[in-house]
A and B are shown apart, each in its own frame.
Chain A
Amino acid sequence: MLVLTRKIGEMIRIGDEVTVQVLAVRGGQVRLGLDAPPDVRIFREEIFRVIEEHNARARLPDPESLADAAVIWKEHANGNDKHS
Chain B
Amino acid sequence: MAMTSTAERATAATGREPSDAVVHVRSRRFGTFDVPRERILHFSQGLIGFPSCRRYVILEHRQGSPFKWMLSIDNPELGFAVASPYELVADYCPPIELAARLLATDPTEVALFVIVTIPPDPTRMTVNLMAPVAVDLRTNTARQIILDDPRFPSSYALLSQQPAVASQI
| A residues with CB within 8 A of B | 38-39, 41, 43-44, 47-48, 50-63, 65-70, 72-74, 76
Query: Which residues of A are found within 8 Å of B88, using beta-carbon distances?
Result: 73
Set of chain A residues within 8 Å of B61, measured between Cβ atoms: 66, 70
Instruction: Specify the chain B residue showing the minimal Cβ separation from A70.
Output: B65
Distance A52 CA – B45 CA, assembled complex (angstroms): 13
Given A70-B61, A73-B88, residue A65 in contact with residue B48 (CB < 8 A) = no
A60 contacts across to B, CB distance below 8 A? 29, 77-80
Q: Which residues of B contact A (CB under 8 A)?
A: 29, 44-45, 47-50, 61-62, 64-67, 77-81, 88, 101-102, 104, 115-118, 120, 122-123, 125, 128, 130-131, 144, 146, 148, 154-155, 158-159, 169
A37 → chain B, closest Cβ, in Å? 10
Q: Contact at B123–A72, with CB atoms within 8 Å?
A: yes
CB-CB < 8 A to B148: which residues of A?
A: 43-44, 47
Interchain nearest-CB distance for A51 vs B (Å): 5
In the complex, which residues of chain B have a beta carbon less than 8 angstroms from the beta carbon of A58?
80-81, 115-117, 128
Closest CB-CB distance, A61 to chain B, in whole Å?
4
Q: Are A69 and B131 in contact (CB under 8 A)?
A: no
| 6 extra interface residue pairs, beta carbon distance < 8 Å, beyond A60-B29, A63-B29, A70-B64 | A39-B102, A51-B144, A52-B48, A61-B80, A67-B65, A72-B159
CA distance A67 to B65 in the complex (A): 8
Does A38 lie within 8 Å of B101, measured CB to CB?
yes
Contact A66 B67, beta carbon cutoff 8 Å: yes
**9 A–B contact pairs at CB < 8 A?**
A54-B131, A54-B154, A60-B78, A66-B116, A70-B64, A70-B67, A72-B125, A72-B159, A73-B88
Question: Could you tell me if A55 and B118 are in contact, using CB atoms closer than 8 angstroms?
Answer: no
Given contacts A66-B67, A69-B67, A70-B64, whether A51 and B146 have CB atoms under 8 Å apart is: yes
Report the bound CA distance from A43 to B48 in whole Å.
12
Are B67 and A54 in contact, CB atoms less than 8 angstroms apart? no
A84 to chain B, nearest CB (A): 11
Name the residue on A nearest B88 (C-beta): A73
**What residues of chain B lie closer than 8 Å to A48, measured between beta carbons?**
48, 146
Instruction: Assess whether B66 is in contact with A39, with CB atoms less than 8 Å apart.
Output: no
Q: Which residue of A lies closest to B116 (CB)?
A: A58
